[in-house]
Amino acid sequence: MAKYSFQVRWGDTDAAGIVFYPNYYKWMDEATHEYLSALGYPSSKLYAEKQIGVPLLEANCIFKGPLFFEDNVIVQSAVEELQNKVFKLRHAFIRGEQIVAEGYELRAWTSFEGKPKALPIPDDIRKKMMPKTHQSMMR
């Protein structure tokens, strides 16, 4: 699991002072890149050295409570599903002790050498991405 922290900015809110919903998708994207960095595979390095990216296939977010200007938020991210070429990353938005939103992103491990093509996620990366519950069951 990885954690991404930020503070809600004025420009993230609507006229009522509540966070405008598309920002949750922006923050999930940022949290995904933080997650990859925490694994030791920053997106910029993957692309620069191996022409690998993780384009978004699907995203969803369920809102349980509002966020406001200057709220401090932690996004906890963890792989929920790990397939051959695709992974699903679950994100929980937490303010204090309250989960204010939950969402996920489905992404493909993709080569951008020439025409983009999904590739199998390398074993060393799969091992780091694998949810801890699966790792303990495999021992």
- Active site amino acids: 14
User: What token pair was written down for 111?
Assistant: 């080569």
Burial class (CB within 10 angstroms; exposed 0-12, middle 13-18, buried 19+) of 93? buried
48: helix, coil or strand? Answer: helix
Buried b (16+ CB within 10 A) or exposed e, 33-55: ebbbeeeebebeebeeeeebebe
Q: What is residue 17's three-state secondary structure? A: coil
Task: Tell me the CA end-to-end span of the chain in Å, nearest whole number.
Answer: 20
